[in-house]
């Protein structure tokens, strides 16, 4: 006889406070403000939940800013006359939670999403006060929208990139909405069914709370323990129990 788990009791409320956390949503739509962004419609679900619990929420559309192309922290030293990224990076580093949100084009993340990830990568070699890579102790997630299949493909690329750069990714840290494949209504269009979609609403809510819970745990713990992951210590000769198999 298969044992069934007990039905969960009705939740009495969040297990912690979150009003000392900061979150940043980067909307990687191709549309400049004030043009309507369907991606923003999904972002708003998560943003409003966070704000209900006192989280300080920052957000910007990357396309509204003159972000140079390249993989250096400041591209003005590499042939570009202007680069908005250094100022935007300060907003990234002020956040405990980073959510990259964007549309699907040709089955992949938007060019704007790719540029933001490249610029995050440009700064990933910087170190924090514990000698770890800069994004350690921060939490990342993503939201995807569009009229093409590919939410999981796009999310996999974003979440892999974030964790590789040093972000911690909680369970089910992605959500999204896609309409019927091919030309058709977008998320915020009348009659699209997007804002009423149970799957999107549930997954976006779960993503939001998993980001909050993990950010809370990391903040209370002082981040990821600084042992075995310090670049300068490795360069200075520390090996953290690594043994070269060639010498066994």
Is the distance from CB of 26 to CB of 99 less than 8 angstroms? yes
Q: Where are the beta strands (DSSP E) in the chain?
A: 22-27, 56-61, 97-105, 108-109, 139-146, 174-178
β-strands 22-27, 97-105 pairing: parallel
The structure's pTM equals: 0.93
pLDDT in 10s for each residue of the chain, 248 residues: 455 565 666 678 899 999 999 999 999 999 999 999 999 999 999 999 999 999 999 999 999 999 999 999 999 999 999 999 999 999 999 999 999 999 999 999 999 999 999 999 999 999 999 999 999 999 999 999 998 889 999 999 999 999 999 999 999 999 999 988 777 889 999 999 999 999 999 999 999 999 999 999 999 999 999 999 999 999 999 999 998 877 65
């Amino acid at each position: 006889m298969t044992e069934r788990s007990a039905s969960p009791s009705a939740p009495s409320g969040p297990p912690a406070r979150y009003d000392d956390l900061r979150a940043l949503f980067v909307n990687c739509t191709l549309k400049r403000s004030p043009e309507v962004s369907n991606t923003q419609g999904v972002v708003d679900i998560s943003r409003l939940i966070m704000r209900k619990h006192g989280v300080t929420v920052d957000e910007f559309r990357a396309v509204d800013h003159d972000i140079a192309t390249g993989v250096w922290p400041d591209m003005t030293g590499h042939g570009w006359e202007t680069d908005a990224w250094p100022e935007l990076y300060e907003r990234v580093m002020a956040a405990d939670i980073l959510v990259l949100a964007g549309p699907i084009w040709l089955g992949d993340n938007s060019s704007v999403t790719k540029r933001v990830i490249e610029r995050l990568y440009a700064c990933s070699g910087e170190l924090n006060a514990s000698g770890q890579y800069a994004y350690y102790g921060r939490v990342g997630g993503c939201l995807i929208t569009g009229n093409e299949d590919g939410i999981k493909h796009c999310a996999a690329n974003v979440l892999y990139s974030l964790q590789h750069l040093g972000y911690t990714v909680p369970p089910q840290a992605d959500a999204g909405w896609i309409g019927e494949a091919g030309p058709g209504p977008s998320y915020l269009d009348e009659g699209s069914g997007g804002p009423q979609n149970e799957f999107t609403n549930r997954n976006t809510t779960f993503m939001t709370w998993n980001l909050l819970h993990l950010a809370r745990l990391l903040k209370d713990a002082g981040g990821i323990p600084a042992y075995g992951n310090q670049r300068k210590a490795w360069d200075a000769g520390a090996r953290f129990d690594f043994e070269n198999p060639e010498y066994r």
